[in-house]
Amino acid sequence: MERMERNWAGNLEYRAARIVHPRSVDELREALSGDGPVRLLGTRHTFNDLADTEGTLIATDALPLEVEADAAAGAVRVSGGIRYGDLAPRLQEQGLALANLASLPHISVAGAVATGTHGSGDRIGSLASAVRAVELVTPAGDAMRFARGDADFAGAVVHLGAVGAVTALELDVEPTYDVAQSVHESPSWDAILADLDATTSLGTSVSVFTTWQRTDVADQLWIKQRLPFDADAAARRDTVVAGLGARPADLPRHPILGMPADACTVQLGEPGPWFERLPHFRLEFTPSAGEELQSEYLVPRVAAVAAIEALRGLADRIAPLLLVTEVRTVRRDDLWLSPAYDVDVVALHFTWRRNEPAVRAFLPTLEAALPASARPHWGKIATLSGDEVRRRFPRFDDFAALRTRLDPGGRLRNAYLERLGL
């Protein structure tokens, strides 16, 4: 039993009466039993009260790690609590890989999937889009499995911890591959926005970073390219990069200007395994700045240029609060609560200095400047009303009905879900 636990960023203290660490599915089922409120806790990389409760927090960190790969089927079954950074080397040993990873390998598979967390790539969906099946235990103790093609599968994948405790997931895998990562400095915003598609298609995964200290140029352009990559395609890429006015970085870079790059994955075009290049940060280091807050809004691709122009107009108000903004792309999917549901999106991510009152005071201005179609990341800080969030997810009411069926007593409800009307 534990008390006074905090999330990773340190901006939230969980109110739970107790925190338990079950070591088996049977112990997990026992922890779920009872009458009081309960929530699930993963790697604590959530910046809001999504996982909070006044009752019991069930941490998944002590559950057995399971990795059962089937190369012929292109699938792997994993325990929900496993981190991507622990899963990836195990897949690599079997000659297998995932299609994408988030910027942090420190996050759990179940937590990332439940919140619609993503990496980057015009042709690659969120981490949840790789899910083939979800196995969970409901508060009533029922074991359930939802697979692709099942009626409620698309609602059970990105689930906000509102339908049960995930014990295992089946994910798509493919043969292993190498990636090379390069960083280019000071690309022109005018050139980027004149043809955003040309920039985001420069690699398998592309990120634009800026501190908004300047509005004529961004700080960095990160390009992660899956190999092999032929010479003609490389030449075309270099031509586009040159047209942006960007220059190759001569040393490894951190996304946040002035921070040492030791925590970052290998750059300078050196090839390496997919899991050592697709994340921005190495598993053995504290990711990003550590002392930070995060917000993110995913806008339909067709509205992305206007959204970024709106941010340029707010640069003088964003910059004092900010560590860095990242712009990435995510392919559409059909998962009900995915921020990429039914539309290709551009993700506008904000890593803030840890001044939560000032950030929260500014967010309504930022949110008003973005298109009304912008969807917030479930695990980060936003100030949109619950009714407004519901309106932006066309299948929200279907998810609400699923939640009611799987947790009719509402034991998994908390203040966060209640604000959404769940």
Structural contact between residues 375 and 298, judged by C-beta atoms closer than 8 angstroms = yes
Structural contact between residues 158 and 116, judged by C-beta atoms closer than 8 angstroms = yes
Do 366 and 261 lie in one domain? The reply is yes
Q: Which of 155, 176, 197 is the last residue of a domain?
A: 176
* CATH code of residue 235: 3.30.70.2520
pLDDT value for 173: 98
Model confidence over 204-258: pLDDT tens digits? 999 999 999 999 999 999 999 999 999 999 999 999 999 999 999 999 999 999 8
Tell me how many domains the chain contains.
2
pLDDT value for 289: 62
Q: What distance in Å separates the CA atoms of residue 295 and residue 409, rounded to the nearest whole number?
A: 31
Please indicate, yes or no, if residue 377 is contained in any of the structural domains: yes
pLDDT value for 285: 84
Nearest to 189 by CA among 159, 166, 163, 211: 211
- Could you tell me the residue range of the domain that residue 321 belongs to? 178-386
Beta-carbon contacts of 128 under 8 Å, excluding residues fewer than 6 positions away, are 112, 113, 116, 117, 157, 158, 333, 335, 338
For 269, phi then psi, to 5°, come to 75, 10
Do 157 and 208 lie in one domain? The reply is no
* Averaged pLDDT, 290-314: 96
Do 94 and 202 lie in one domain? The reply is no
Q: What distance in Å separates the CA atoms of residue 285 and residue 56, rounded to the nearest whole number?
A: 30
Q: From residue 38, how far is each of 27, 56, 169, 352 by CA, in Å?
A: 14, 5, 21, 30
Please indicate, yes or no, if residue 411 is contained in any of the structural domains: no
Beta strand extents in 173-204 (DSSP E only): 174-175, 178-185
* CATH code of residue 123: 3.30.465.10
Orientation angle between helical segments 356-369 and 304-313, nearest 10 degrees? 130
Do 280 and 231 lie in one domain? The reply is yes
pLDDT value for 4: 56
Tokens of 159: 């689930």
Residues pairing with 171 in the sheet: 76, 131
Please indicate, yes or no, if residue 294 is contained in any of the structural domains: yes
Q: Are strands 345-352 and 375-376 parallel, antiparallel or unpaired?
A: unpaired
Do 154 and 302 lie in one domain? The reply is no
CB atoms near residue 223 (< 10 Å):
21
Model confidence over 56-115: pLDDT tens digits? 999 998 999 999 999 999 999 999 999 999 999 999 999 999 999 999 999 999 999 999
Tell me the torsion sign for CA atoms 311, 314, 315, 319: negative
Supply the DSSP string of 41-110, one letter for each residue: E-S---SSSTT--SSEEEE-TTSPP-EEEETTTTEEEEETT-BHHHHHHHHHHTTEE-S---S-TTSBHH
For the entire predicted model, the pTM comes to 0.96
Structural contact between residues 156 and 163, judged by C-beta atoms closer than 8 angstroms = yes
Do 329 and 263 lie in one domain? The reply is yes
